[in-house]
Structure 1
Amino acid sequence: MRRIRLLMLGAFTLGLDAYVMAGLLPVVAGDLGTTVSVAGQMVTVFTLAYAVSAPLVAGLMSGLRPRVLLLASLGVFTLGNALTAVSPTVTVLLASRAVAGAGAGVYSALATAAASALAAEKRQGRALALVMGGMSAGTVLGVPLGVLIAERTGWRATLWLVTGLGVIALAGLAVRLPQIPAEPQVPLRARFGALTDRRVASVVGVSFLAAVASLGLYTYLAPVLAATGGVRADATAPHLWAWGIGGVLGSAVAGPLLDRTGKATALVTAVMAGLVLAEGALPPLGAVAFPALVLWGAAGWALQVPQQQRLLALRDGNGTVALALNNSALYLGSAAGSALGGLALAGGLPARTLPWVAAGVAALGLVLHLLTGARRRRADVPAGDPARSCTW
């Protein structure tokens, strides 16, 4: 597990880098002499580069050994953050965020596949949970620390922190990470068959809708709390911590539970139902919504452990591309949720109704999951099986 913890450190750094920049926008804009809206495009650039690079590189560079590509992607991510830290202009800043996002997208997919490959057969759930736990911990623990450092010593110091963590993870993996079994050689056309595989598309679709509902709503948690419970903008920290602690707990519990039961599909059902319940409970609970926030965070972060396990099983020998598509769906879902939430608020939708809208999107994801699961079970029943003619 020591090697997997090094993969977890890299994931922690990704989680910190992906979410801390949103909190630094005013400072970055002031330092570079631009507007917050222009500076905010560095988040968009990072997200798009992350989403596009993951499946593209995983498919085109399949001939390389996973260890080489994993170290190279983490190196690109770290270099991108170093360039961000020294960016003299907005143009350089945006280019550096694209570099960091590209490296992050590839590393995320490869780290998940590597953790599964390095773990013992009945401990793969724990291994996947460690990587996802690193991402959630980077958000929960790293982001407040990064913002605090930026307030004291400037935003560039926060980027140097991210760069330093990337260097440590890269050095540790270069020394300790063994060769990882390579996926069998598959023609490029077959590798990109994951794009049209209905089984993969249904799993990725659920991940996308969950990201829209969970990460998209998280962007507007402050106005939601203000509208539902009168919570001031400068008093939302405990609520953010409740969501984050739930995320860490969800990631930690999902892995052992998956290893113990082996029921990834049932776990997805329970987690999606929990997400619907938690978000729907936010408006009536208002300022005392801490239990709902913990459940929301736990469900949102726990979901990807069984989802990744299902994708690895569905695309035997070609799981990295499927995982990359799933990671892309998460970031695109987050971006779509944030954009749609902003449009809804700008169009006059009351902030207190956003959680119900998000719960509706999560419910749609749950329905998609249940329908595709039922269709798959019917397809698995042999034609002559009496169960096909059973009407109850």
Structure 2
Amino acid sequence: MRKVFLLTIGMFALGFDAYVIAGLLPNMGATFKISASQTGQAVSVFTFCYALAAPIFATLLAGKPMRRILVLALAVFSLGNGASALASSFSMLLMARAIAGIGAGLYSPLAAAAAASLVPMQKRGRALGMTLGGMSTGTVVGVPLGLIIAEHLDWHATLWFITALGLIAMIGIVIWFPSFPASAPPSLRQRVAMMTNGRVAAIVGITFMTSVASLGLYTYIATILNNLADIPSVTPYLWAWGIGGTVGSFSIGTLIDRTGRPDLLMAGILAIMALAMFSLPFVLPLSILSFLPFILWGAMGWGSQAPQQHELLRLQPNHGAAVVALNSSANYLGSAIGSALGGIVMLAGLAPSRLPFAAGCLVLVTLLGQWAVVSSKGNYGKVRKNKGNQTEL
């Protein structure tokens, strides 16, 4: 499993990089003398390029050796983070974040595919869990660690640390990783073809809207805390969000297996997420209770992916890789749009303290959409049954 561990280091760096920037935004804004709404676009450009990189480069790099592409992806990712640390202007920072996002978007699906190819079938689940768990660990452990580094040094040091992690994983893959052919991630054409199925489009749309609200709000968490309760350190709240995310991501699979209704679970997830967002401004003054909304929000946000993937795999069993990758792209595209929208509405005059309410309202609208998906599932089953009876006749 040493080779899988190398892939996990890369995934840890990706999770670290994707989520730590939200906590660094105030320091970045002070460096470049810009507002929180402007610095938030550093998150938007990373996640936007993350979402689009995999399908585009899958087509361009199809048929190339797996090791070569993994090394290239980590090289681009590390280059982007190093350039981010060296950026002398905000426009240069945005370009560097775009480069890092391209590398991350290319590496992530390839790392999962490589992990599955490296081990026997009976160990495949463990290998995938270890690899994908690297990203959630990067959020739970890496983000607070990155903020501690920034507090004692500065935000540039945090990005240099991420750069070093990417280079360590890249060098390890160069030295120890085998060279073998493997299928490329799903192409852009495959992902677009999935959307011709109405139910697939609806489920992916729910994922997109959930991410717009949840990850878009997460981008401005430091600004919101400072505006609501003059809280200077965001680290404990990011710990709470990450710990909740870990609990949610590890427990949701058991709930899906026990209930057999991932669509209803998703509706419950959205309801609890909306409650957490609406309650956030009211409980911040309440000492230990102030962490509860963040725990619930993190748990629901990270737990929302598995029910959606489960339903998509049920609908498209012969195109599992493509449809799950499509859902992943929708998740990160939603994060980019949410970050951009948050910046736009704050520039338009909305106070940061109102963002949790705006995000909560968007989650409620998404909940209505999810309920329509749940309701149509029953009708869809009846239609299929009637068609089957007609065929038999």
What TM-score do the two structures reach when normalised by structure 2? 0.78
2: CA distance, partners of 1:338 / 1:176: 38
Identical aligned residues as a percent = 42
Between stretches 183-192 and 287-296, larger displacement belongs to: 183-192
1:255-284 deviations in whole A, cap 9, x for unaligned?
A: 5766xx398x73453244134224315545
The Cα of 1:174 is off from its aligned counterpart by 3.9
1:273-319 deviations in whole A, cap 9, x for unaligned?
A: 13422431554562325444323212211232454455567666765
The Cα of 1:78 is off from its aligned counterpart by 1.5
Paired residue for 2:363? 359
Change (3 A) 1:131 1:363: farther
Confirm or deny that 1:280 pairs with 2:275: yes
Change (3 A) 1:156 1:240: closer
User: Of residues 265, 268, 272 in structure 2, which corresponds to 1:270?
Assistant: 265
The answer for unaligned runs of 5 or more in structure 2 is: none
Kindly provide the amino acid, as one letter, of the partner of residue 45 in structure 2.
V
Change (3 A) 1:80 1:304: same
Change (3 A) 1:80 1:206: same
2: CA distance, partners of 1:185 / 1:48: 18
Paired residue for 2:45? 45
Kindly provide the amino acid, as one letter, of the partner of residue 295 in structure 2.
V
Q: Is the 2:20–2:143 contact (alpha carbons within 8 Å) kept by the matching residues of 1?
A: yes
The Cα of 1:106 is off from its aligned counterpart by 1.5
Change (3 A) 1:352 1:223: farther
Kindly provide the amino acid, as one letter, of the partner of residue 159 in structure 2.
L
2: CA distance, partners of 1:26 / 1:127: 37
Paired residue for 2:247? 249
Between stretches 52-61 and 154-163, larger displacement belongs to: 52-61
Paired residue for 2:144? 144
Paired residue for 1:331? 332
1: CA distance, partners of 2:81 / 2:90: 14
1:67-114 deviations in whole A, cap 9, x for unaligned?
A: 432332122112221222333444543332221111111112223344
Change (3 A) 1:249 1:206: same
Paired residue for 1:299? 300
1:311-360 deviations in whole A, cap 9, x for unaligned?
A: 56766676554444323211221233334445556347945634631430
Q: Is the 2:8–2:131 contact (alpha carbons within 8 Å) kept by the matching residues of 1?
A: yes
Q: Is the 1:116–1:128 contact (alpha carbons within 8 Å) kept by the matching residues of 2?
A: yes
Between stretches 70-79 and 155-164, larger displacement belongs to: 70-79
The Cα of 1:206 is off from its aligned counterpart by 2.3
Change (3 A) 1:366 1:316: closer
2: CA distance, partners of 1:256 / 1:116: 22
Q: Is the 2:40–2:340 contact (alpha carbons within 8 Å) kept by the matching residues of 1?
A: no
Q: Is the 2:276–2:297 contact (alpha carbons within 8 Å) kept by the matching residues of 1?
A: no
Paired residue for 2:154? 154
Q: How does 1:1-392 map to 2 (within 5 A)?
A: 2-28=2-28, 31=31, 35-36=34-35, 40-116=40-116, 127-178=127-178, 182-183=182-183, 192-221=192-221, 231-234=229-232, 237-254=235-252, 261=257, 266-267=261-262, 269-284=264-279, 286-287=283-284, 288-308=289-309, 311=312, 319-341=320-342, 346-347=349-350, 350=354, 353-354=357-358, 356-367=360-371, 369-371=373-375, 373-374=377-378, 377-378=381-382, 380-381=384-385, 383-385=387-389
Q: Is the 1:55–1:321 contact (alpha carbons within 8 Å) kept by the matching residues of 2?
A: no
The Cα of 1:44 is off from its aligned counterpart by 3.0
Q: Is the 2:44–2:335 contact (alpha carbons within 8 Å) kept by the matching residues of 1?
A: no
2: CA distance, partners of 1:218 / 1:67: 34
Change (3 A) 1:313 1:186: same
What TM-score do the two structures reach when normalised by structure 1? 0.78
Kindly provide the amino acid, as one letter, of the partner of residue 364 in structure 2.
G
The Cα of 1:387 is off from its aligned counterpart by 12
Change (3 A) 1:341 1:135: same
Kindly provide the amino acid, as one letter, of the partner of residue 137 in structure 1.
T
Kindly provide the amino acid, as one letter, of the partner of residue 138 in structure 2.
G
Between stretches 363-372 and 145-154, larger displacement belongs to: 363-372
CA RMSD after TM alignment: 4.0
Matched position secondary structure for 1:64: coil
Kindly provide the amino acid, as one letter, of the partner of residue 245 in structure 1.
I
Kindly provide the amino acid, as one letter, of the partner of residue 269 in structure 2.
G
2: CA distance, partners of 1:372 / 1:2: 46
Q: Is the 1:129–1:255 contact (alpha carbons within 8 Å) kept by the matching residues of 2?
A: no
Change (3 A) 1:5 1:221: same
The Cα of 1:247 is off from its aligned counterpart by 0.6
The Cα of 1:368 is off from its aligned counterpart by 5.2
1: CA distance, partners of 2:151 / 2:206: 38
2: CA distance, partners of 1:7 / 1:322: 23
1:129-170 deviations in whole A, cap 9, x for unaligned?
A: 444432233223222222222232233221210011112222
Matched position secondary structure for 1:233: coil
The Cα of 1:246 is off from its aligned counterpart by 0.7
Change (3 A) 1:356 1:189: closer
2: CA distance, partners of 1:147 / 1:242: 14
